Amino acid sequence: MAPRLAVALLCLVPSALAQAPGAAQSAYDALRSKNYDAAIAGFRLAIDAAPANPALRKDLAYTYLKTGETEAARDQFAEAMRLDPADEHLALEYAFLCYETKKQAEARRVFDRLRKTGSTATRATAEQAFQNIDQPLAQEIARWSAVVAQSPKDFSAQQELAQLAEQRGELETAAEHYLAAWHIRPAERDLLLDVGRVWQALGRAEQATAALVAASRGSSPRVVEQARELLPPRSPTAIEFRAALEIDPSNLELRREFAYLLVEMKQPEEAEREFRIVAEQAPQDLAVAAQLGFLRLEQKDRDGAMVWFDRVLKSDDDELIERVRDALRLPAQRRRPKAPPPPKEDAPPAQEIGPKEMGERSYKAGYLKDALKYFEAAHEADPLDFPTMLQLGWTNNAMHQDRTALAWFAMARRSPDPAVSSEAKRAYESLRPAFARWRVTTWIFPFYSSRWRDVFAYGQTKAELRIGRLPFRPYASVRFIGDTRRTAGAAGAEVAPQYLSEDSFIAALGIATNYWHGAMGWAEAGSSLCYTGCETRGRAVPDYRGGVSFSRAKGHPIGAESRGWFAETHDDGVFVSRFGNDSILYLQNQAGYTPPHLSGLRTQLYWNVNLTTDAKSQYWANFFETGPGLRFRWAALPPSLVFSVNLLEGKYLFNLGNPGGPTFTDLRAGFWYAFTH
């Protein structure tokens, strides 16, 4: 076997959920002592270790009920029911909690199933519960149907009838009245979302897509984000745009985007028709006026183009004016100086504080709910106030409402103020990968080891797919593991040459969980494809890997603006089929000090304490090492590019078969770089 010092470990930079030995027992002990917070934490760790155990989820659900967290209990019962669908008592508990948490449609569905398929006792309970839900719904539907028949323009009646019908499973009726309610109040964009969702449940895919495309182009960031979650991960087609406009013909944003798509599709006549509709309803839209002029100019109709260009040339939009003059082949116009601001008048002795200022004060004081309320009021008063949009993004982000925050940051990126747009863009790019349908992450880690007098390189490119709100992502991965020397020892020596790395590309398909408190899990199956020295190892070998990972850091990281102490840990447990189905535990710990910045140079001084061990007690996978280290980077470089130098003294824990001595010294120098698309 090769002395896979770094190969078995550093190349397997994986991800996973941390688990604690005896977590279930600790949870039950905490539950007996009524320490419910500790019990919940213990049950969650135990579930991470045994996710297919329905009993643990049931006990966690009952513990949540003791703390009053009804919705969390309901969700755990749902998972337990999925794992053990034959447990009728479990299904009853879930259905009753659905009813308590206002999910009447789900409660009615489960009770309906149990009253038809359950045991005698279960049927009786489920029948009574079903009738308790169904009969009031039927009576309310009849009552509101009568109101709608008398007053079809009554918005509240239409909306109430739609919601009741959806709860009773009458989806055709629900869709009809959601649509009627929206026609009465088109500003209520949530109703378009309801229409699309119900049409999806009915299997009307084309109609559902049209409604959701219309909902995804509008003024409400929350509705836009939710609609895009329900849509396919691509841009709408021309057919889908047309269908959406049939539902929502007054949606100028939708029509404008469709018109630009027609321009790209080389359909100028249809594009001009759509742009004209936008221009008639929004004459202040200078970009549309300019686009109409460009389309007329392409048709050699200079007079027709000038009708639209005159709007732009008389405006204050210098950038758009230059584009028009360039299209007309006119000389560049000297930019007009902006008019000086009017002289300030004496301020009144007392002035009421506006919602934006109140929002800023509440945000600074930590009253996030109040801040959100004030910023939303400020946005309603001035929908084009981009700094308010940015503040709405930060406030929602601080409240862990990252989907809504992402939508606000996306809007604030369009600010004409470079400072606001730049900050919003950074925030958007930071949040976007977590919600993107596809996420591609690449990392590389080359380093030199004086112990082996060799340069090693490890890297991985991983494309992950997000599926709705599932807590895991499937992925496709290609790893690289290699070195420059390939072997240690000479061919004629008593000890046979030993490979220092796998010299392989590893292609695999896998699945990885979301992060939870710095922890996540992963598993993959693939094939190791060697690119050199394949005679003794085979060119393609099956490769199965998986594990758990935990990372946590405190104090001042290398990018911090202030100096101070820091500590961090990176712990991985990995199973690798290619190493004789071995499991390896790798613990890396650093603690040290981040000095003040020296011009653009940022550094960290620290001490390493590392431990590696495996299940088979192989010498190359069992050692302890410690020693000083230095990290450094320059501010002008990407934040994820970090150089490191470590001087380590190590000691093997087992020496059977070890061709070297029981101790070693190693100087390792390299860099880490990662990026995400």
Average pLDDT of 252-260?
87
Give the other-Cβ count within 10 Å of 436's Cβ: 16
Q: Which residue has the higher pLDDT, 383 or 211?
A: 211
Instruction: Supply the DSSP string of 190-229, one letter for each residue.
Output: HHHHHHHHHHHHTT-HHHHHHHHHHHTSSS-HHHHHHHHH
Q: Which residue has the higher pLDDT, 7 or 382?
A: 382
The whole-number pLDDT of residue 585 equals 94
Using CA atoms of 265, 266, 269, 274 in order, give the dihedral in degrees to the nearest 10. Answer: 30
Whether 348 has a pLDDT exceeding 80, the answer reads: no
pLDDT confidence band for 394 (50 / 70 / 90): confident
Average pLDDT of 28-40?
81
Whether 59 has a pLDDT exceeding 50, the answer reads: yes
Average pLDDT of 186-210?
88
The whole-number pLDDT of residue 540 equals 84
Q: Report pLDDT digits (tens) over 444-488.
A: 999 999 988 889 999 999 998 888 768 888 999 999 988 886 655
Q: Which residue has the higher pLDDT, 132 or 561?
A: 132
The whole-number pLDDT of residue 587 equals 94
Whether 647 has a pLDDT exceeding 50, the answer reads: yes
Whether 609 has a pLDDT exceeding 90, the answer reads: yes
Whether 14 has a pLDDT exceeding 50, the answer reads: no
The answer to whether 560 and 596 are in contact (CB under 8 A) is no
Highest mean pLDDT (candidates 285-299, 351-365, 662-676): 662-676
Q: What is the mean pLDDT of the chain?
A: 82
Q: Which residue has the higher pLDDT, 420 or 225?
A: 420
The answer to whether 510 and 525 are in contact (CB under 8 A) is yes
Report how far residue 31's alpha carbon sits from residue 67's, in angstroms, rounded to the nearest whole number. 11
Average pLDDT of 271-292?
87
| CA-based R_g, the chain, Å | 32
Name which of 36-45, 170-179, 523-532, 572-581 the model is least confident about: 36-45
Distance of alpha carbon 80 from its chain centroid, rounded?
26
Whether 19 has a pLDDT exceeding 50, the answer reads: no
Whether 345 has a pLDDT exceeding 80, the answer reads: no
Q: Map residue 505 onto helix, strand or coil.
A: strand
Q: Residue 57 is encoded by which pair of tokens?
A: 């989820």
The whole-number pLDDT of residue 288 equals 86
Report how far residue 182's alpha carbon sits from residue 193's, in angstroms, rounded to the nearest whole number. 10
Distance of alpha carbon 581 from its chain centroid, rounded?
33
Report how far residue 569's alpha carbon sits from residue 380's, in angstroms, rounded to the nearest whole number. 46
Average pLDDT of 118-132?
88
Q: Map residue 188 onto helix, strand or coil.
A: coil
The whole-number pLDDT of residue 134 equals 85
Average pLDDT of 359-364?
74
Name which of 94-108, 392-406, 594-608 the model is least confident about: 392-406
Containing 85, the helix (H) or strand (E) segment is none
Name which of 10-24, 44-58, 328-342, 461-475 the model is least confident about: 10-24
The whole-number pLDDT of residue 496 equals 39
Q: Residue 510 is encoded by which pair of tokens?
A: 């896998």
Report how far residue 123's alpha carbon sits from residue 112's, in angstroms, rounded to the nearest whole number. 9
Q: Which residue has the higher pLDDT, 179 or 44?
A: 179
What are 631's strand-pairing partners?
A: 604, 644
pLDDT confidence band for 366 (50 / 70 / 90): low
Report how far residue 467's alpha carbon sits from residue 525's, in angstroms, rounded to the nearest whole number. 20
Whether 6 has a pLDDT exceeding 70, the answer reads: no
The whole-number pLDDT of residue 12 equals 35
The whole-number pLDDT of residue 11 equals 36
Name which of 3-7, 19-23, 352-356, 479-483 the model is least confident about: 3-7
Residue 431: which of 412, 399, 403 has the closest Cα? 403
Average pLDDT of 117-146?
88
Amino acid found at 497? P
Q: Map residue 389 onto helix, strand or coil.
A: helix
The whole-number pLDDT of residue 70 equals 84
Which structural domains are found in the chain, ordered by start? 7-11+437-676 (2.40.128), 362-432 (1.25.40.10)
pLDDT confidence band for 652 (50 / 70 / 90): very high
The answer to whether 223 and 190 are in contact (CB under 8 A) is yes
Residues 6+ apart with CB under 8 A from 639: 559, 633
